[in-house]
Structures are given as structure tokens and as C-alpha cells.
Structure 1
């Protein structure tokens, strides 16, 4: 295995935009009531999501063609949304279908529309080439439809480029960061795999102290530290980036799936320096009835504390990138370098990236 420090000499990964030719979650279904519209963003693109009283959700550019006022501030009537300013109305095709003070034969052009779908409690849009949308599948959404699992939703905003999030989860060697929450554990790298559109790393964890979080103990059982023998592999943790999504799966020693995470990191501003996370965390229900409901609040607190530590450190990375004027990371872990190449290969150079980064 090559363990030399390698970088991407002609590409600053933080100047690589996410590829728009995929389905991206942009809101939770529960946040958009019938007969209402809400505004969201995909990178530099504002998006209005509209849910008619009858029919499916549709997505439009969140700017009225008239004065550029957000359509998400408008009023939903039937299968259309009316701009709050002058009442211009747009249907799900994006075409302007009414201007109250003009004749029907004098209607202006409409606004951009995005293919839109709902699945797993999420609203997805396809922000790229709309003609590709039907050929691109939605990603697997953890175990959200499996009654044997209970699924938690989370959607924190993070002030960093989406690639920092991929690196953070893929590199399990950062458990020192979580020592207050997880106790003393050490990641053991078990192997890797890669293909044209994915990179995968597998780990187990050795506990070097007796402290074990309550939520972890209730879900996985008690792990006892025995300094007189090599600790057995109790669970295998598999982290996989299948561009542009990321997943984490935990299998027990018998090979049974006991936890699965789906995560997508959606750029939320024009320069890519922040992203909105959409995650589904599915946990296998214990055999004891109602136990999962009893421990669910504790699991929520535990996972939230872990994430807040990750959020703080990736935002520090983003700040360092900003102050140094570029990506100065010296990466020594081979699987992370493979991940970086994957993200660079499938991404799109940002519009203000130097020419060498666009090559």
C-alpha cells in the first residue's frame, strides 16, 4: 500500500463544485405543506418548491421573471404559484400562464424548472441537464422503508465546502476528536475498495478504556476492554462515497446490518463555502419491544454531540483554507487521497478557479 503523502498538484479541491447531474435532496417533505411554497438553494441557484393542494411537488427557479422577486414568497393557487408583487403566475412547467393586466396573447417567457421527486421523506431536485434526469436513479436511502429499523432525520447546516464532509467521515482515524463522547477507542483499518464512481473503507474499533457511551452500549452491547488479549472484531464499519453521496454501514460479527447512514452534502451558497446536510440514520430495532423508543432520545443526544464536534473541526478547516488562500493539506492516508481524486474527477471546476484547475 502506498503511504506516501500525495496531493492533487493542479487542482484545489475546494474550488471544485459538485456535479449537478444527480438527484439532490433540498428539503424535507414535512417542511412543505399543501398549498404552500418554500425557498431553498442549490449552490448559487435559488429554488422555489411548490406543493399544490392536489398533485405532486414541483420546483422552479426562485425568481419571478418580472422583477426577480422570490416566487417562494408567493401564493399557491391551483397548479400555479403567483408572485407576491404583481401576481404573475407560473405553472409546474415554469411557463408564465397569467399576467393579470396583460392579454393572454402577450405573456412573457417563464422561469427555469427542475425535475423534482419525493422519496424517504425528502424532496429531491435534479439541478443539471434535465434530459438526463430519468436515466439517473435516486440514491439508496438507508433503511427508511424497512420496518425492522427506526430512522432518524438530521439536516444541520455546516460552514464548509462539501468535500471536507466527505473526508471527515471517510477518515475514521479522527476518533481522538471524539474522546469525550466515545471514550478511548482506536480505529483499525481493515481494507478498502474502489471503482469508477466510488471509494470504500472498512474499519473496526478497539477500545482502550472502560468508558463506553450508554447509547452505544444499549445498541451494540457492552464491549469490555481486556488488556491481556487482542480485542475481537465486534462490528465492521464500512464508509463509502458513491459520488456524490456518502453512506456508513455497521455490521455485527455475524454479518448482520445493525446501523446504516445515508448522507448528502448540498452546497448552499454561491462560492461553495457552506453546505446543507441531509441525513438518514437507520438503527435495527432490538428484540426487546419498545426498547428502541426508550433509548432513542439518548441516541439523538449522543449523535448530535458527535456531529457538533465534526462540524466545529471542518469549519476550522474551511477557515484555514480561506486564510491561506488555498488548499495546503498534506494528506498521508491513501484512502483519503483516493477519495480526493474521486471528488475532483467527478466534480466541476468552480467558475473562478484558475485555468490550471480547469484543465
Structure 2
């Protein structure tokens, strides 16, 4: 994986790719209505998502086997996706279902196109870009608050121009709250404890407003009945590879006031741009109308915080690009733990042009996806 040899310097984390053997969200379900096709991507692999007339969603390599024209430019007809160029038609498993002009008795192509396992949950379309044989046994993230009558969910979808690891570090390291002083006020985070193992890193923080004043973010939540008896107090953040979660528990309560789940999905082959898919689940107060009234304010508040975080992590990526290496002088043990965990679970970045592989071996799925045969 991404581990350095014994006695050598650690592998630059920004050169470690995210592991493909997990379920990654690549689109919102509502953005793919029946009889439509949409482009998507994962780490430089172009994907055509299409929903058939019966409602099923499929994910194919976004290149027609004929002339390599993007299938996302095509049209959905019934249960098949038809290329816009010569009208070759493909089933959801990547097999060619029709070549309209093929003469009777003519030799057919030996294979179709790659097909990726697909699942829908939480209003998102997940694909499995790794070894398809591992997909059935690999669980989707469990989000019990989503769809619960006691919660209301908010979805986020933003592109950020940085390596996914910068995003993991940003959310886990609450020592950067000075960045948000204009939105949250001046607050002092205290790390209560941290835990790590081979697949996860977890931290719990307590927040103390400077000067004894309630911070603005806490004030917004408590004013709307979302913060319990006191200011939101204990924050638990966990990176369980490859996802991240955050739960905020108000002072004096046991249940979180809100929970956040986030996935960072690399888009380009060098993985210097990622798409953030997030779900914020907020517990409804006793008077549900209060949350409805506060919803636009909560969205504006979270968007402002995210915009500041994006500014910072994109600046970090620009510095890496300019220096050609990671010159960070990190001192926080929690982030050092996180970096090691991400290295161990990641994979070496594939050379440019190697994605979707050499066509050799496609038929048996050895390049990480199923390839449809005739």
C-alpha cells in the first residue's frame, strides 16, 4: 500500500491514492431521472451513469467500445444505453446488445465495456471502482439518522481542488478554529482524547468560548432549540477509512444535536481534485417549526464555514504543487496518526494513462471492474 520501507522516510501522503475497494458516492439520485445518462468520474476513470425506464441505475466505462466516444453523450432507450455516434447499444452489465448495421454473419467484437457495481442509498448513487468480486461483501456506510422521523437531513456537494487527505486533516484538526473566528467567534478547542487503529482515527474535543461568551455557532443552534440546555460542547470526529463522521453532543445530553457524514471522492488521475459529498443530519427540536424556520440560516452558516475551509486546503495544495513535495512541519500527534493511517490504507497513484487499463485482462475484470462480453 502506501507504507514506506523500514528505515526510510515516510511516503509523501499527497502521492498516495485512495483505495478503490470501497463504495463511493458519485452523484445524487435526483440528478439521474429515468431515461437519462450523466457523466461522473472516480480518480481519472470516466463513468457514464444511466437510469433505465424501469428505474435501475447502471455505471459503465464512459467510452464506447467502437470508437471510444463518451457514452455519456448517448441516449437511454428502454433498458439500454445507446452511443450517440454509431448507435451501438449496451446493457447495464456492459455487454453490447445491438450493433444496428452489423451484417449478418459478420464477426462481433470480443467484449463490451467495463461495468461498475452500483447501489443507491441516502439519496446518493454509489459505485464500487475496485475489484467487483469484493463489492457484495463490502458494506455501505451506516447512517441511522438519515430518513429518521426525528431528524432532518441536508446534503452538500462541492468540488475542492486539493488532495483528499487535506480534507481529512482539516476536519479532524479542530485547532484551526481561528480561521472561522468571523463566523463562529473566538473559541478554544481542547482535545479530550484520541484513539487510533489500523483503519480509523477518532478524536473528542471540548469547546470553550473565549472571554466566557457563547460562540456564535453555538448561539445559532441553541437559539433554535437544537443545542439542548447548554452550548454544543463535545465534538467527536472520526475517520474510518475512507469516510469521515462528526457528531456534536450538547452539554448535559447524551444524543448528538447533529451528525455529519462526509466522503471525499477524487476526480482526476493525480487525485489533486476531489468532490465532497456530505450529509448533515440535524435532530428535530420539540417544536419542529423552529428547525424549518432556521433551515436557511443553518445552510448559510455551514456554507460559510465550508468556504473558509476550502480556501485553506486549496492554498495547502497550491503550496504542495509549487514546492513539489510536502514541506509541512506538523506537530499535532492526532494528525500524525491520521497521516500514517491514510498511508497504510491507500494505494500508489497509478501512472497517467494507466487508468481503465490496458485492455488486456478486461474480460475477467482483473483491472478492478467487470467487462461485458458479448
Flag whether TM exceeds 0.5 (same fold). Answer: yes
Q: Please tell me whether residue 189 in structure 1 is matched to residue 153 in structure 2.
A: no
Q: What does the per-residue CA deviation read over 1:128-154, in whole Å, with 9 as the maximum and x for residues that have no partner? A: 000000010001236212110111000
RMSD: 1.7
Aligned residue number for residue 108 of structure 2: 107
**In 2, Cα distance between equivalents of 1:139 and 1:31:** 21
Which structure 1 residue ranges, 5 or more long, are not aligned?
1-7, 225-233, 354-359
Count of residue pairs brought into register by the alignment: 337
**In 1, Cα distance between equivalents of 2:216 and 2:78:** 55
Which structure 2 residue ranges, 5 or more long, are not aligned?
1-7, 353-374
Residues 177 and 102 (structure 1), Cα distance of their counterparts in 2 relative to 1, 3 Å cut? same
Aligned 1:295-334 pairs, distance under 5 A: 295-334=294-333
Q: What does the per-residue CA deviation read over 1:285-315, in whole Å, with 9 as the maximum and x for residues that have no partner? A: 0101311100000000000000000000000
Q: Please tell me whether residue 82 in structure 1 is matched to residue 89 in structure 2.
A: no
The answer to whether the 8 A contact 2:153-2:279 is kept is yes
The answer to whether the 8 A contact 1:98-1:107 is kept is no
Q: What does the per-residue CA deviation read over 1:302-356, in whole Å, with 9 as the maximum and x for residues that have no partner? A: 0000000000000000000000001111111111111001100000011359xxx
**In 2, Cα distance between equivalents of 1:182 and 1:239:** 18
The answer to whether the 8 A contact 2:267-2:273 is kept is yes
**In 2, Cα distance between equivalents of 1:289 and 1:43:** 41
Aligned 1:252-331 pairs, distance under 5 A: 252=250, 253-331=252-330
The answer to whether the 8 A contact 2:269-2:350 is kept is no
SS of aligned partner of 1:300: helix
**In 1, Cα distance between equivalents of 2:274 and 2:202:** 23
**In 2, Cα distance between equivalents of 1:180 and 1:223:** 22
**Alpha-carbon distance, 1:9 to partner:** 2.1
**In 2, Cα distance between equivalents of 1:14 and 1:168:** 14
**In 2, Cα distance between equivalents of 1:78 and 1:342:** 45
- TM-score w.r.t. the length of structure 2 is 0.87
The answer to whether the 8 A contact 1:97-1:107 is kept is no
The answer to whether the 8 A contact 2:156-2:276 is kept is yes
Aligned residue number for residue 220 of structure 1: 227
Aligned 1:123-272 pairs, distance under 5 A: 123-141=125-143, 143-209=145-211, 210=213, 212-213=216-217, 215-218=220-223, 219-220=226-227, 235-252=233-250, 253-272=252-271
Aligned residue number for residue 20 of structure 1: 20
